[in-house]
Structure 1
């Protein structure tokens, strides 16, 4: 059986894999990307129809190419994002093979490198970069039994309001996906219940600058770790409708009923924690803290940016917040669908090396595994807060390419000396 050899094999043809390819190409190292579907497949087939990027086009892109249709301050729709990556792959002449799934990666006994079994043959590589990203396996809690008479789907399977049956919808999760889906459903005339847990709520823009700019000049993209207790807090931000600041209280004007964090289901009723007011208050505090830091930055640097006093006004709590629903009989409330916007987990079962902790999470330092020759790219907080964003993964890829090139030089010297 013929074995194809390459210096570095990249698993995944999304933003992480392409960024890795660009930097390896500049280093002159032979490499190959294997993608089981199409380039940037998740942008096309695992997101809802109306999705747009959450960051403005000037910010959330690779340095070497601008979005061709959306202006710098706009938010490109998902198809344009996917097309952008296809065009980028062509521009950098990325060596990519689509429709090839990696089944296993194992160390070759007694020599450097790894054997990679795929649906299209066997490969050997000195290095393997797992660039499959953070959104691999949808997390679907099993709180509500499948025979409860409800349609239950993950946010990654949601496409548009017409996909759902008649009746109200419970959306569980208050990150960007959950909020935008709830907003779309309410605008389409659906009765929506939105389960809100702990979250950050940054301003979409303030004093004429997008929040991405503020996080940049305030140094927040470069934070290397979250604060204690904030490891799993979601961010509620949206680029929909031209970009707007998410205000949960204002969502109630669309007919959305807010409830606390979803706890359990029993005898046809969903139970919610009595934490809604607390979660909103903490989100408000996060929002106002960004405004405070922005104001201080403007004053310290003498910037001429218009004041925005209206941004500090927090509306009164609606009835659903002051008198929260702690238990909801789904049938009586007419709820026919549940959308679980509850995030994703990773699946590295194909990577058969001793490079994971007891929970199956990669052990790494800035993407460098303790297993020589194994690297990870596209992880949340891989090196800093911005790591899982398009521009952030590009910079992390540069770091890994430097490490791979350095390792290659050492191994090349060893071979020549031998």
Structure 2
């Protein structure tokens, strides 16, 4: 049987895979992009109905294609984002094959490259780029037992308030997903409890500039002067409802019962950490630090941006933050559903090569893995904090494509 061969095989046709294809084409590298579903499938079906991009249209895109039908300062809805990447793939003539799942990748014996086993047969590739992104397998702690009589879903499977059973809802997670879902449910008339932990809470915008702009001009995408962040800290910023600063005090005044970190569960009672006030204050500190740095930047560079003194005002604590509850009897509270907005974990079980640390995490430097010929793209902090964002993955892909081009030159070298 003849086995198809290619130079580079890209696994995944989301934002990372499409960006990778563009740069490989620019480098003249023969390649194939395999996608088990459709282009940008996560945007289509693996998010809730009201989801929008986390940045405005002028920023959350690739450099070579603008949104012709979305105002630059608007946060594009999820379906428009899916169409954007589909249009981009068409524009660059990306060699995408949809409906093809990669089952395994193994190194060839006695020759360069890898045998890639797919749902459509085998392909032999000299290089493989894992461009499956950071949102692979839903992850949430097994705190509340399945037989507790409460429906539990991950935020991946949440669509809209009408999907929920009658009764109150507990949302666990203080990042963009948890905040958006909790507010949407509350505005629909639901009783909502929101359990949060440590979080980073920047302003959505300040002095007539979106936060993504401040990230750029203040060097925060690159984090050169930034203190190392704690891992697993929720990033509380959102484009929901036109883009607003996430404010847990505002949610509390809206009627959401904001609580501390979910620690345990016994006989129908949820145990909560006594950390809510400390985490709210730390979120304030991060928020005010951005305002201070922004003001210093404006003054230092003589930029004419309108002052925004009201942004410095911190709202009074609602009762749920002034006197946080440490236990929640779920039955008495009427909680019928728990939504775990607690993120995702990686699944690279199909990548059967020596490219991982002992803990199973990818072993790489800027996406170039410990296994020669294997690359990772779209992971959080691959290069910097932008790496898992639309803006960042395009530039990371360019770096990896350049490395592939250099390696091809080494292989092609012949001494006279």
Q: Please state which band the TM-score falls in when normalised by the shorter chain.
A: over 0.9
Residue 2 of structure 1: CA displacement?
2.2
Comparing 78-87 and 301-310, the one that deviates more: 301-310
CA–CA distance in structure 1, aligned partners of residues 224 and 260 of structure 2: 30
Partner of 2:359: 359
CA–CA distance in structure 2, aligned partners of residues 120 and 93 of structure 1: 22
Distance 1:196 1:324, change over 3 A: same
Partner of 2:128: 128
Residue 244 of structure 1: CA displacement?
0.6
Partner of 1:269: 269
Q: Deviations over 1:205-250 (max 9, x none)?
A: 1011101101100000012697446122111111111111111101
Matched, 1:15 2:15: yes
Residue 70 of structure 1: CA displacement?
1.4
Q: SS at 2:270's partner residue?
A: strand
Q: Deviations over 1:35-57 (max 9, x none)?
A: 00000001111100000011001
For 1:12-411, what aligned pairs fall within 5 Å after superposition?
12-223=12-223, 227-228=227-228, 230-411=230-411
Q: Which runs of 4+ in 1 moved over 3 A?
A: 224-229
CA–CA distance in structure 2, aligned partners of residues 348 and 226 of structure 1: 30
Q: SS at 2:170's partner residue?
A: strand
Question: Retained in 2: the 8 A contact 1:224–1:381?
Answer: no
Question: Retained in 2: the 8 A contact 1:224–1:385?
Answer: no
Question: Retained in 1: the 8 A contact 2:170–2:335?
Answer: yes
CA–CA distance in structure 1, aligned partners of residues 225 and 11 of structure 2: 26
CA–CA distance in structure 2, aligned partners of residues 274 and 319 of structure 1: 15
Q: Deviations over 1:183-220 (max 9, x none)?
A: 10001001000011111111011011101101100000
CA RMSD in angstroms comes to 1.2
CA–CA distance in structure 2, aligned partners of residues 229 and 76 of structure 1: 29
Residue 336 of structure 1: CA displacement?
0.4
For structure 2, the 5+ residue unaligned runs are none
Q: SS at 1:298's partner residue?
A: helix
CA–CA distance in structure 2, aligned partners of residues 157 and 274 of structure 1: 29
CA–CA distance in structure 1, aligned partners of residues 242 and 233 of structure 2: 25
Residue 164 of structure 1: CA displacement?
0.6
Comparing 282-291 and 244-253, the one that deviates more: 244-253
Distance 1:259 1:48, change over 3 A: same
Q: SS at 2:21's partner residue?
A: helix
User: How many residue pairs align between the two structures?
Assistant: 416
Q: Deviations over 1:43-80 (max 9, x none)?
A: 11110000001100101110010123211000000000
Q: SS at 1:174's partner residue?
A: coil
Q: SS at 1:349's partner residue?
A: coil
TM score, norm. by length of structure 1: 0.98
CA–CA distance in structure 2, aligned partners of residues 274 and 412 of structure 1: 62
Question: Retained in 2: the 8 A contact 1:129–1:374?
Answer: yes
Q: SS at 1:147's partner residue?
A: helix
Q: SS at 1:81's partner residue?
A: helix
Distance 1:225 1:352, change over 3 A: farther
Question: Retained in 1: the 8 A contact 2:356–2:370?
Answer: no
